Each structure stands twice: as structure tokens, then as C-alpha cells.
Amino acid sequence: MKRPADQIALPLDWPQARDHSRFILSDANREAYEHFRAWSLWPVKATILTGPPRSGRSLLARTFVERVHGRLYDRAERHNEAELFHAWNAAQDDGRPLVMVVDEVPPQWEVALPDLRTRLAITPIARIQLPDDELFRSLIRLLFADRGMHIPEEALRYVSQRVERSYWTAERVVDAIDRFAIAERARLTLPTVRRALAEGGIIDSRGAA
């Protein structure tokens, strides 16, 4: 059987219909992205992927395992440890890589099974960071595009300068603005965005976070 290529190209542009095209590459996730592209260099055929919720970590992992016919354990810390142990060993035997997506890595991820703990100790870790400015703005654009909306650049700058930069916040911001615009039958303008964020409690009435 022909083995899958070690170097893969992951689609990055948006918006497109396919789910994996929603992964937006930036400095916040580039290291993790490159880690999966060079999986032939992993010391073992397994890796741990961590990052904030809603950061695209599951999407990146799923795209990778689909392309190389690997194994994926999302929220791996919630899975049976013996099952993870056998999956880790199987990956070494057949060359089909194992990806474990977790909120915390060892030792914060407390593993009771000694055999699994020793294997995780030699397993590489890939990390996705909090979004940088580029990624945060691109994510907001994408979330608005999902709703058939376009946010003006001045409004996007206003948002990015005044709210917490996180993946959850991006979703909360877009939802608050969309709901407000629908309720007020308002166009997506800077004044609309300012009022929506204030009334949603995301910023105060003076425009501060």
C-alpha cells in the first residue's frame, strides 16, 4: 500500500464551502500548522495539539488526519487512558499518526496510567496561541460573511481596538452586532457597531472595553 506523503498542503483561504477552508493562517497558529506539514520529522508518530477553544485546533487536526489517514482523539483528556495508550502504540506500529487535541498538556493534564504517561512525555506538542490582530480581524470578517454581512473597515478597526482579543470574543461580538442590527433594522455602520457593543455590555457607553 502506498504511504501518504509526509508534506501536505492545507487549504487556508475563505470563504469557501468546504469546512477545512475556514482555517485562517497567521502568526498565532503558523507554528502548529508547520508542525503538521512536517510530520515526517516527528520523533514519534503522535502529537499533542493544544490551544484556546474555538481556535481552529480541532479543524486543523481533523484536516490532517483525513489527509494522512491518521487517528484523532479530540478532547483526549476525556478519553479512556488505556484506549489512548493502545492508539499511541498502534500509531508507531502502522505509521498512521495519532493526534490528541487537549485543553491542557501534561503535567496539567494529569495522566494516571504510567505507561501512557511515559509515552506522552516523548510526544511533541503543537500550540495555537491567542489570535493576533490579523487573525482576529479575519475571523470577524469570516463570521460576518457566514451571515451574509460585510463589516466596513472603520467599524472593524473600532472593534479590534476595543474588545478582548480572543476566539470566543470574536463570536460574541458578531452575534451581538447581528442581533442589534436586526432588531433596529440598521445597516452595519460604525455607529451601529458602537451601539451594539455598548448595549450588549461588551464595551461601556464611552467605547471602552
Phi/psi for 94 (5° steps) reads: -110, -5
Tell me how far CA of residue 66 lies from CA of 8, 79, 136, 172, 200, in angstroms: 11, 20, 27, 30, 39
Architecture of domain 19-127: 3-Layer(aba) Sandwich (3.40)
- At residue 208 the predicted structure's pLDDT band, cuts being 50, 70 and 90, is low
One fold for 19-127 and 133-199: no
Confidence at residue 10, expressed as pLDDT on a 0 to 100 scale = 42
195-206 confidence digits (pLDDT tens): 999 999 998 756
- Domain chopping of the chain, boundaries: 19-127, 133-199
CATH class assigned to 133-199: mainly alpha
7 has pLDDT over 60 = no
- CB-CB neighbours of 69 under 10 Å: 13
Can you give the pLDDT at residue 203?
Answer: 87
Please measure the distance between the N-terminal and C-terminal CA atoms of the chain and give it in whole angstroms.
Answer: 56
What pLDDT does 205 receive? 59
28, with CB counted inside 10 A (0-12, 13-18, 19+), is: buried
- What is the SS3 assignment for 174? helix
Specify the DSSP element, H or E, that contains 194.
helix 190-199
Q: Which pLDDT belongs to residue 22? A: 83
- Per-residue H/E/C for 85-103: HHHHHHHHHHCCCEEEEEC
* Tens digits of residue pLDDT in 142-173: 999 999 999 999 999 999 999 999 999 999 99
Q: Give the model confidence (pLDDT) of 15-59 as tens digits.
A: 333 466 788 999 999 999 999 999 999 999 999 999 999 999 999
Q: What pLDDT score does 18 carry?
A: 47
- pTM for this prediction: 0.84
Q: What is the pLDDT of residues 75-130, one digit of tens each?
A: 999 999 999 999 999 999 999 999 999 999 999 999 999 999 999 999 999 999 99
